[in-house]
Amino acid sequence: MEAKTMYARVGKTLSLFLVLAMLLTLMACGNTTPAGESQTRAEPDTQAGTGKETDAESETGRLDPHLPDRTFEGQTLSALHWEVEGVGTDWIPWEEFYQADMTGDTMANLIYFRGEAVKEKFKCDFEIEYTFTEDMGAVVERLMSTGSKDYDLCMQRGARIKHLYTGNYFLNYEDIPYINLSAPWWGQNALETLRLGKVHQFATSEMLYLDKGATAGVFYNATVMGNYQSQIGNKYNQVRDNTWTLEQMIDDIETVAQDLDDDGFRNSDEDLVGMVNGDDPVHFLYTGCGGLFMRPDGDGYFEYCFQEPDNLDLMEKIFNEVLYTDAFRNAFVHPTPHQMFEEDMALYTMEVIKSVHHYRSMESDYGILPVPKLDEISPYRCEVSPHHDTWMSVFHTTEDPDFVGAVLEALAWESYYSVSPDFYEVIIEGRGTRDEESREMLGIIFDTRTYDPGLIFDLATMGEDVLRRTATGLTNFSSFYQEHSAQIESELEKLNDLIFKNS
């Protein structure tokens, strides 16, 4: 990677201090117990459903990851990472695996410090190569068919897992030394979502900031909000009072939308609209209001549920009362959703949180809210988009699972304590959302992250096909499901058969 100009925010002395601080903490976690001997953990706590012990806190208040007290001189951890052709940094604003150089970006610098500390502890190095996400399945199949040992890690979007899970390409995380999946620096919700019997081949951890950044939220334009707040109320108070619901959002959109060019419609280029988006609100609102395409059945298998009456009714409500109204602007062309939102032409836009970088330079302030829920008694749910997130797998051809496990555990642990606490500040830095209420809203968003396995495995491409209906005007989702049902049942049987074999 070409070296970049550095020190826009952090001076050299501070840089060395931060790396040293991380390194000293990592060094303190060296496990001096010889290989093969048992370890004694103070006051272990067993997490429900995992059968594993969590680590007691050390004197510093940090959980001990029990890293090996050794180096891996000269070894390199190599990753194959997804990218989307033609979109640049829009989808990958941070080099989440490894940052080779410091830049003027706070998040990049934190990831750089993390990597330098782990490199120094284990005397190892990192390398990363990107491949287009649409090609990931074919690339992995080719690598594994030839027995390639070029990469240790496969870092893919959730939406591509359906092309990878049947190939027996990856190790079970349960069998990788030094990795403790019950530790809080591993994504417990994600692990449970994609547990295939007794096998965990796909995981997220604190080191994956595209996974955090892929969480859905509602961005509001503070100028437009201020002009209409007497009519639509204080959104932060509504979130706290559990009245931030789909109905409230619909009322807001209808109240704000104005036909400014007098052409008889409220969603023309020159109008003020209640919401501007592409097709993101389809899944975000559906998940936020409790809908799922597929769910665990309670016996360790999956069952399809989109066809249930409540879910069909919910999807039809989203289309008929949000997407197909003239208070909503479906903007895939100029002016784009980002342009309209920045130019005070829209109250709301729904984005994944990492999209905040689009609005750093906008004149108006903005805020971020959780996705509205169905009613006052339901919990908030903010979808983790499988089109933006990252899941990590370890190729079964890796030559040294001890090395891979130790480094992944160290990266996740160091991220948990030294990088993630600053992630809120990274999201809210700049002109907008610089108040304690924004931090409170981000806390709710990240605490209610929700994965839909039906969107990850996307049986019969049902989830994607629903998105495409935003341009068709059709809302009979019961018959639409029937068109897909035979293929869904066939693919679901194959998925559950694999779970049975792994159980």
Q: Tens digits of per-residue pLDDT, 306-316? A: 999 999 999 99
pLDDT band for 474, please (50, 70, 90 cuts).
confident
**Residue 476 pLDDT:** 87
Instruction: List, in sequence order, every residue forming a beta bridge with 329; answer none if it has no partner.
Output: 276
How far apart CA 28 and CA 60 sit, in angstroms, is 10
For the chain, the residue count is 503
Among residues of the chain, what percentage have pLDDT more than 90? 67
Q: Where is pLDDT greater, at 3 or 230?
A: 230
Is residue 103 scored above 90 in pLDDT? no
DSSP 305-366: -TTSHHHHHHHHHHIIIIITSTTEEE-SSSSPHHHHHHTT-EEEEEEEGGGGGGGTT-SS-E
220-248 pLDDT tens trace: 999 999 999 999 999 999 999 999 999 99
CB 175 within 8 A of CB 151: no
Look up residue 359 and give its two tokens: 């609005």
How far apart CA 290 and CA 381 sit, in angstroms, is 7
Look up residue 28 and give its two tokens: 């303190």
Is residue 369 scored above 50 in pLDDT? yes
In the three-class reduction of DSSP (H, G, I as helix; E, B as strand; rest coil), residue 202 is classed as coil
Question: What are the structural domains, with CATH classification, of the chain?
Answer: 12-31+58-213+387-428 (3.40.190.10), 216-383+434-502 (3.40.190.10)
Among 32-36, 87-91, 127-131, 360-364, the minimum mean pLDDT is found in 32-36
**Minimal CA–CA distance to 284: which of 347, 342, 333, 352?**
352
pLDDT band for 432, please (50, 70, 90 cuts).
very low
**Residue 350 pLDDT:** 95
**Minimal CA–CA distance to 280: which of 341, 225, 323, 244?**
323
274-300 pLDDT tens trace: 999 888 899 999 999 999 999 999 899
Q: Where is pLDDT greater, at 148 or 39?
A: 148
**Minimal CA–CA distance to 411: which of 151, 172, 203?**
203
> For residue 109, what are the contacts with CB-CB under 8 A and spacing of at least 6?
9, 10, 15, 99, 102, 103
In the three-class reduction of DSSP (H, G, I as helix; E, B as strand; rest coil), residue 18 is classed as helix
Q: pTM score, two decimals?
A: 0.88
